[in-house]
A = this chain, B = another copy of it.
Amino acid sequence: MEIAVFGTGVVGQTIGSKLIQLGHEVKMGSRTTNNEKAVEWVKSNSAKSSQGAYSDAANFGELIFNCTSGQGSIEALRLAGKNNLKGKILVDISNPLDASKGLPPSLSICNTSSLGEEIQNEFPELRVVKTLNTMWCGLMVNPSMINDGDHTVFVSGNDNDAKKQVSDILKSFGWKEKSIMDLGDITTACGAEMWLALWLRIYMSTINGAFNIKIVG
């Protein structure tokens, strides 16, 4: 599959490299062509990797992973261009973290809305699926690293077919069917994003990002 990854940070690199390992062709998108980190990432991956501006990557991808910082996500999608987004699945794994008020970061959107909803509202041509934002990126692509892979990943989105396709990608990352919890439509992304407040405080008390929640009942 031809996939765009928006964002050149550690999350984008981790997701991009995993997708390459799984045999996909991946174009990493950033604000400018030849972003230094994107060029480095292409060098360290196979010939299936490439990079370009957000618009190049969006045009290339059948599906787009949003791995930008949450506060830059809307702008990145605007730069991508509505024509390049039409009908595509956006796998939104970003969080609207805001460190401007001190640490731990607060959320720039929360409580009565979420970044996932705001993206879906501004870009109705996308099929947004919120997922994977609830954990450290190392676990996203390697869930078996802890608890024999037995912990929970959430999906939220309005389009059931899109959620099915994204769940298949999650399974290819190593997630078990029983670990994938469909919360409902994109408004439920509010819950998945607000969990970050607790994630951050658990992280600060343990200084170890390799943890997740398992829903038990």
DSSP class of A's interface residues: helix, strand, loop or mixed?
Answer: mixed
Query: Roughly how many angstroms separate A119 CA and B201 CA in the complex, as a whole number?
Result: 19
Query: Is B194 within 8 A of A198, CB to CB?
Result: yes
Query: Is B111 within 8 A of A106, CB to CB?
Result: yes
Asked if A174 is an interface residue, CB under 8 A from chain B, the answer is: no
Asked if A2 is an interface residue, CB under 8 A from chain B, the answer is: no
Query: Is A211 within 8 A of B216, CB to CB?
Result: yes
| Chain A interfacial residues counted at CB < 8 A | 39
Contact segment of A26-34, A163-171, A180-188:
A180-188
Query: Is B147 within 8 A of A217, CB to CB?
Result: yes
Residues of B within 8 A of A198 (CB): 154, 191-192, 194-195
Query: Is B216 within 8 A of A213, CB to CB?
Result: yes
Q: Which of A141-193 contact B (CB under 8 A)?
A: 146-147, 150-151, 154, 181-184, 188, 190-192
Asked if A110 is an interface residue, CB under 8 A from chain B, the answer is: yes
